[in-house]
Amino acid sequence: MARIVVVTGAAGGIGRALCARFAADGATVVAADIDAAGAAETAAEVGGTPATCDVGEAESVADLVAHTIRNHGRVDVYASNAGILLRDPDPENAASAAEADWASAWAVNVMGHVHAARALLPDWIARRSGSFLATVSAAGLLSQIGSATYSTTKHAALGFCEHLAITHRDHGIRVAALCPQGVDTAMVRGASPREPALRDGLLSPDAVAEAAFTGLAEGRFLILPHGQVAAYVRRKADDHDRWIGGMAKLRRARG
């Protein structure tokens, strides 16, 4: 039986690549995005169904899940991929982001996952089945130089995913956090060429989607397309002060 897979942020980048990878495995794909035209384009490419969804709005996410269940009977995999990166207006002031930027980042990068889980869990608990794949970013494990809103909300997203995994493991629900560093998407194309994550290996969206697909199949919680991230996390845990000093040095080198 073909899996029913919902992907948010599907209009481009990692989302579009995830749609293609799941479709290649024979899944029925619902390609969702706030960009209706982009979602339709992705759906046409992979033979899926387009949907318009603003993940920052609880009602929009609930409608997406309900519509998928009505039309396809269930959701087997939910790839909660949509995200936004808003850079600090003043790079010399970590608290310079406006209230509106904090609200937008929180709504999409954190509550997008919460809204989805809230809509999915009743059916998944009843069926004792379901897979939740959240695109978190290595920033959730480490940090994002130049964006307090991204760093903070991605840490929060990882925290929610961990809680979701712990609470619902015995319900047969599997949770995975996809944490890449630099990926060749629109999100990073305006970044400085001295951005640390970009100098550390820029992956294609297809490579990240393949890592996500494999990680899900292997039942892993933490999926690291950039293998070096595991070493960075260990260094951070071993000596947090030294890690902060190293990050400050990277920031200075970034200019």
C-alpha 196/C-alpha 127 separation (Å) is: 43
Query: Does the pLDDT value for residue 53 go beyond 80?
Result: yes
Task: Tell me whether strands 77-80 and 173-178 are parallel, antiparallel or unpaired.
Answer: unpaired
pLDDT tens per residue across span 115-132: 999 999 999 999 999 999
pLDDT at position 73, please? 97
C-alpha 116/C-alpha 124 separation (Å) is: 12
In the chain, domain spans: 4-227
Residue 185 binned pLDDT confidence (cut-offs 50, 70, 90):
confident
pLDDT at position 201, please? 78
First-to-last alpha carbon distance for the chain, in angstroms, is 53
C-alpha 197/C-alpha 204 separation (Å) is: 14
Q: Enter the CATH code of domain 4-227.
A: 3.40.50.720
pLDDT at position 80, please? 98
CB 39 within 8 A of CB 11: yes
C-alpha 51/C-alpha 63 separation (Å) is: 10
Residue 255 binned pLDDT confidence (cut-offs 50, 70, 90):
low
pTM summary value: 0.94
pLDDT at position 193, please? 53
C-alpha 55/C-alpha 61 separation (Å) is: 6
pLDDT tens per residue across span 191-205: 555 555 566 779 999
Query: Does the pLDDT value for residue 190 go beyond 70?
Result: no
Share the mean pLDDT of the chain.
94
How many other C-beta atoms are found inside a 10 Å radius of the C-beta of residue 30?
Answer: 28
Mean pLDDT of 82-94: 96
Percent of the chain with pLDDT over 90: 90
Amino acid at 72: H
pLDDT at position 97, please? 97
